[in-house]
Amino acid sequence: MNKLRIGDFECWPLSDGEFLYPGSTLLPPEGEPPDKVPVPYIAMLVNTGSARILFDTGAGALGPETGRLPANLAAAGFAPADIDIVVLSHAHPDHIAGVGQFQNARVVITRTDLDFWAAAETQAKLESGELYGLGPLEKVMAAYVREHLGSVKNLWLLDGATEIAHGILVVPAPGHTPGHAAVLVSSGRQQLLYMADAIIHPAQFENPGWTSAFDLSPDETVSTRKQLLDRAASDRCLVAGFHLPGGVGAVEARQGRFRWEPAANQNSEREKASTGF
């Protein structure tokens, strides 16, 4: 994926592959979901010059088309040992499975999210399929928390908005999970807002009230999503999301709805304008 610049920072959206989801788990009935939806997994690497910071670590061997992050990290010119800080937006399997590769990094997660997923009550509900009502998938969630977070030794637990490096602000963005977090990247007069899973499907820009089966608190998810999108539109931030096709784009606010234009489409339009094709 193409490198982009935010002020003096270099940023790379890094694909971990994709996973096939039942459409009904992503969109409500009014969204007329298809039977299956391929969902991309796209982490974000930011090089500030003094620190290399990775947002989320991918799904590892969760599916046949996942686990591509290491190869794409290498293609960007980096090894796992080069990463100084890993930010886990939340503790779902597709975000935490690769964390063990980054042995030199401090691993950032909110205390709220770690405490929730590690709690005996949450683990018991996952084992019995009672937290989401998603059956055997919940056992996978429980196992991933134990396997991948239980072995992390260099944890950095956050208790609110925290600047973890110059220009890198981790902010609470609850709803999808209790301690879900977003990241605001700022350098010079440019900003990028990494929303992680506060938005997981492009249809949710036009319909910000739509939630998924994976949003533990739907009302809070919608409130958080609208706040983040309002901020991105008013401040003209680029927006990135772990599950958004292309990874990065621009947002415009339109009477309670939003329009998202992937960066790849913007580049294509610029090329057309310059070449006449």
Q: How many domains does the chain have?
A: 1
pLDDT recorded at residue 1: 62
Residues 56, 69 contacting (CB under 8 angstroms): no
Query: Averaged over 238-246, what is the pLDDT?
Result: 94
Write down the pLDDT at residue 276: 30
> Which one is predicted more confidently, 54 or 263?
54
Residue 263 has a pLDDT of 83
Q: Which percentage of the chain shows pLDDT scores above 90?
A: 90
57-93 pLDDT tens trace: 999 999 999 999 999 999 999 999 999 999 999 999 9
Residues making up the chain, counted from first to last: 277
Give dist(CA 179, CA 171) in Å, integer: 10
Q: Would you say 14 and 3 are in contact if contact means Cβ atoms under 8 Å apart?
A: no
Which of 51-60, 185-194, 242-251 shows the lowest per-residue confidence on average (mean pLDDT)?
242-251
Q: How far apart are CA 146 and CA 149, in angstroms?
A: 6
- Give the range of the structural domain holding residue 52, as residue numbers without chain letter: 4-275
Q: What is the mean pLDDT of residues 183-210?
A: 97
pLDDT averaged over every residue in the chain: 93
Confidence of residue 270 (pLDDT cuts 50, 70, 90): very low
Tokens standing for residue 70: 């290491």
Distance CA 257, CA 109 (A): 30
Query: What would the pLDDT profile of 107-147 be if each residue is shown by its tens digit?
Result: 999 999 999 999 999 999 999 999 999 999 999 999 999 99
Calpha distance 26→200 (Å, rounded): 8
**71 phi/psi in degrees, rounded to 5:** -65, -40
Question: Where does the pLDDT of residue 246 fall: very low under 50, low under 70, confident under 90, or very high at 90 and above?
Answer: confident
How far from the centroid of its chain's Cα atoms is residue 54's Cα?
Answer: 11
CATH classification of the domain holding 178: 3.60.15.10
Question: What is the reported pLDDT for 255?
Answer: 86
Q: Quickly state the pLDDT bin for 273 (edges 50, 70, 90).
A: very low
Question: Does the pLDDT value for residue 186 go beyond 80?
Answer: yes
Phi-psi region of 239 (alpha: psi -120 to 50; beta: other; left: phi over 0): beta
- Please tell me the distance from the alpha carbon of residue 123 to that of residue 63, in angstroms, as a whole number: 22
Say whether pLDDT at 269 is over 50. no
pLDDT at 151: 86
Position 126 scores a pLDDT of 98
User: 199 falls in which pLDDT band (50, 70, 90)?
Assistant: very high
Q: Can you give the chain as a three-state secondary structure string?
A: CCCEEECCEEEEEEEEEEEEEEHHHHCCHHHCCCCEEEEEEEEEEEECCCCEEEECCCCCCCCCCECCHHHHHHHCCCCHHHCCEEECCCCCHHHHCCHHHCCCCEEEEEHHHHHHHHCHHHHHHHHCCCCCCCCCHHHHHHHHHHHHHCCCCCEEEECCCEEEECCEEEEECCCCCCCCEEEEEEECCEEEEECCCCCCCCHHHHCCCCCCCCCCCHHHHHHHHHHHHHHHHHHCCEEECCCCCCCEEEEEEECCEEEEEEHHHHHHHHHHHHHCC
- Using the predicted structure, report yes or no on whether residue 264 has a pLDDT greater than 70: no
